[in-house]
Every structure is written in structure tokens, then in C-alpha cells.
Amino acid sequence: MMKLSQKEIEFCGKPRKFRRVATSVLKDASKNVENVQKELADIVTGINEKELEARNKKVEANDILIKPKVTKKEKSRAEKLIKEADKIMEDLEEYSKGLEGKINKLDKDLIEGYGLIAETFLEPMTVKEFVENHDSIDMVIAKNLSIFYDMYMSGFSEVKIEQRLKQMIDANIDQLFPGQ
């Protein structure tokens, strides 16, 4: 592939240059990341839905028990709802423990996917090098390489690109540590 620019981007501790990349090649490199992200999102959504279901059952039970006069039937229903909510949370805890290995594998697959994207966009770069040498800033860059690629393609100055990178890093920090 042809070098896109003589301008360099600092990535995984070394200066890199962008390659010219066909859209079809980029789509292929991005498929792995998209699939892993979807699988992780499905897991998180499933867990969140179960937690919400348990919370709703406890709220419903509390709404029943907070009444000034509660019949035996209502009290029995509230106790049943609390037991159901506790059972859901116990099952969810077991489910989550069982997912640890799968989530670790998905995290590894995600990092390798971003490595493939980096290898596709940058030279010199390999997936192995990314996996072994990336840090949190490199992950922010890897997630947004297509934006930086477009900025280079459009002739943005290095100052503007650095400003955009700083914005992305700050946004990532704000997301990880809200209220700091």
C-alpha cells in the first residue's frame, strides 16, 4: 500500500505513518471489532435487563408493604416478589461468574481487532505489536483511527489533529471518571 502522508502519528511508543486504505479493506478489518462489541453489548444488555426486573419486583413489593393496612394476601404477594427478585440476583451472580472467561476472551479479541485496524491504517505496525505495546491512549487512538485518517486525508494541520486527539482523550477520561 502507498504511504498517505509524510506526517507521523505517535502510536504504541513509535512514530507511524498512515497508509492509503481501500474502504473494503477497512470494512473487513472493522468487522471483528463490530462483532465483539455487539456480543459484549448483548451481554451487558441482558444483565441490565435482569437487574431491572429484580429491582422492579422489589419496588412493587415495597409499594405493597408501605400501605398502612396490608392484607395477608398482599403481604404474601410482596414476600413472593422479594424472593423472586433475590432469586434473579443470585442467578445473575452465578451467570456473571460463568461469563468471566468469555468476557476475558472477548476483551482479548477486541484488542486484537483494534490491532488489526491499526495494522491496516498504519505502517510500520503489526497486530502483535499493538497487543503487546498498547496503552490507554493508544486504545483511544485505535478506536478513532478512521477519524484521524480522514483528518490527514483532508489536509488538517498536525496542531488540529493533536487538538482533536486531546479532546478524545479528555472525553475518555471523563467517561471513565465522571465528576473528577
Please choose, from the candidates 164, 112, 153, the residue with its C-alpha nearest in 3D space to the C-alpha of residue 19.
Answer: 153
Lowest average pLDDT, out of 7-21, 72-86, 123-137, goes to 7-21
pTM of the model: 0.74
pLDDT given for residue 59 in this prediction: 93
Q: What is the pLDDT of residue 180?
A: 59
Give burial (CB, 10 Å; 0-12/13-18/19+) of 109.
middle
Q: In this structure, are residues 159 and 153 in contact, taking their beta carbons and an 8 Å threshold?
A: no
How many whole angstroms separate alpha carbon 151 and alpha carbon 164? 10
Distance separating alpha carbons of residues 145 and 139, to the nearest angstrom: 10
How far apart, in whole angstroms, are the C-alpha atoms of residue 117 and residue 135? 16
Mean per-residue pLDDT, 125-140: 90
Per-residue pLDDT reduced to its tens digit, 74-125: 889 999 999 999 999 999 999 988 888 899 999 999 999 999 999 988 888 9
